[in-house]
Amino acid sequence: MSNSQEHAQFSKDLERNNLGPLWDNILHMVTKEPDHDIVPYLWKLDQIKEYLYKAGDILKLGRTSERRVIYLQNPSLMKKGLIGYSTYTLYAGIQLLLPGEVAPSHRHSQSAIRFVIEGDGAYTSVDGEKLYMEKGDCILTPPFCWHDHGHEGNEPMIWMDGLDVGIVKSFAGSFYEPYANETYPLQRPDDFSTKQYSSGSFRPVCDRGLDGYPSPQKSYKWNQVKSVLEQMTEFDPDPFDGYAVDYMNPVTGGSADYRIGTTMQKLTPGMRTKAHRHVHSAVYHVMEGNGYTVIDGVKFEWSKGDFFILPPWRWHEHVNTGDKDAHLFSFNDRPVLQMLKLERNESLEQNNGRQEIKSTFSPEDAA
């Protein structure tokens, strides 16, 4: 028997006993750099809305279908059977709630954030506090808080949900529980915490004893983040992100949600950021504006309403090609990577931080 035959036979023997030879496979586990097959991808809001309205016609909300949501499925992860994965860690869904509807109360160990896209008069009730949702607001549903959504207005309401589905799944930490009734009993006045915290500078004395988990502030209003970004425009932007802020837990100063990072960035007309890459992945929503993002040499052209995926460790830079400010909201897995000491950043040195554009994304060519 030749030496290589002997090795092959030996590996087979191991495999039969559910054992493996590290000397053949170490590079599968310990890669030099992040190695993954998550593709970047972009979706148009109008296409998703068309499907959502159809779902509005055919799907009645109730205990057997609690939420009317169409999720952003990464095509490369679907091939691996990872249902509902935008990246290995993050899930993104677009939710429609019609006037008068209630999406019944439940709770789960996934963290959720919501970003309001259009409509008025709906609320998310979190542990019995109604948080009214206006366009551009970001709302938290921390792990295992009871939450239901209701709609008191008269136009369809659409928002984006961001959950840490992949993170929770990889630790097999998922628990889910429906509430016995459609809605959880109200515990506090409407928007109680929002009104006390939304200055961003003060906190109520009755919360002096809180340890900061979860964030006592659950709703972050668009007009607040907008006005901070407006004030920042007086100064130099961040070279990689433009004028950008992370939503903050007012007690800890850390990420608003403990596990899901949330960021709003403003790109002024003509602004072009420099390329960098980081381990954290993100899902973006274009709140307003026109432009493109270059991801590893591929141009992703976006306009108001679009959603796109930024995979881990991919070079990216943003360009505002419009004549108005562009606002990009995104959520990410950065807080978890930081807790695990896995986050890293690198900036592109060549060509003054600008990537060469090799192609333009179209959904037909992708994956």
Beta carbon nearer to ligand GTQ, 163 or 168: 163
For the stretch 43-49, contacts whose Cβ atoms lie closer than 8 Å and that sit 24 or more positions apart, written own/partner, are 43/72, 43/306, 43/307, 43/308, 43/363, 44/305, 44/306, 45/94, 45/117, 45/304, 45/305, 45/306, 45/307, 46/305, 48/94, 48/307, 49/158
Q: How far is the CB of 114 from ligand GTQ (least distance, A)?
A: 7
Is residue 44 a contact point for ligand GTQ (CB under 6 A)? no
Q: How far is the CB of 124 from ligand GTQ (least distance, A)?
A: 8
Amino acid (1-letter code) at residue 339: M
C-alpha span between 52 and 56 (Å, rounded) = 6
Beta carbon nearer to ligand GTQ, 101 or 161: 161
# residues contacting ligand GTQ (CB under 6 A)? 9
Beta carbon nearer to ligand GTQ, 163 or 283: 163
Q: How far is the CB of 107 from ligand GTQ (least distance, A)?
A: 9
- Which of 45, 73, 76, 93 is the binder for ligand GTQ (CB under 6 A)? 93
C-alpha span between 130 and 184 (Å, rounded) = 10
Q: How far is the CB of 125 from ligand GTQ (least distance, A)?
A: 11
The three-class DSSP label of residue 88 is: coil
Element (H, E) at 70: strand 69-71
* Residue nearest ligand GTQ (C-beta atom): 93
Is residue 264 a contact point for ligand GTQ (CB under 6 A)? no
Beta carbon nearer to ligand GTQ, 156 or 250: 156
Beta carbon nearer to ligand GTQ, 147 or 151: 147
Provide CB contacts within 8 A for 3, sequence distance 6+: none
- Scan residues 301-340 and list those touching ligand GTQ (CB under 6 A): none
CB-CB contact of 292 with 355 (8 Å): no
Instruction: Report CA 306 to chain centroid distance, whole Å.
Output: 14
Q: How far is the CB of 56 from ligand GTQ (least distance, A)?
A: 15
- Which of 67, 135, 169, 276 is the binder for ligand GTQ (CB under 6 A)? 67
Q: Cis bond leading into 239, ω under 30°?
A: no
- Which of 147, 277, 316, 334 is the binder for ligand GTQ (CB under 6 A)? 147
Is residue 95 a contact point for ligand GTQ (CB under 6 A)? yes
Is residue 68 a contact point for ligand GTQ (CB under 6 A)? no
- Scan residues 97-116 and list those touching ligand GTQ (CB under 6 A): 108, 112
Is residue 69 a contact point for ligand GTQ (CB under 6 A)? yes
HEC profile for 97-141?
Answer: ECCCCEEEEEEECCCEEEEEEECCCEEEEECCEEEEECCCCEEEE
Q: How far is the CB of 336 from ligand GTQ (least distance, A)?
A: 18
Provide CB contacts within 8 A for 172, sequence distance 6+: none
Q: How far is the CB of 88 from ligand GTQ (least distance, A)?
A: 17
Site string for ligand GTQ, 159-178 (x = CB under 6 A): --x-x---------------
Phi, psi at residue 68, to the nearest 5°? -100, 95
Q: How far is the CB of 161 from ligand GTQ (least distance, A)?
A: 3
Element (H, E) at 177: strand 176-178
Instruction: Name the token pair of 133.
Output: 């949702």
Beta carbon nearer to ligand GTQ, 115 or 243: 115
| HSE of 283, CA atoms in CB hemisphere, 13 A | 27
User: What is the DSSP pairing of strand 290-295 with strand 298-303?
Assistant: antiparallel
C-alpha span between 153 and 20 (Å, rounded) = 60
Q: How far is the CB of 365 from ligand GTQ (least distance, A)?
A: 28
Beta carbon nearer to ligand GTQ, 108 or 314: 108
Which residues of this chain interact with ligand GTQ, rule CB under 6 A?
67, 69, 93, 95, 108, 112, 147, 161, 163
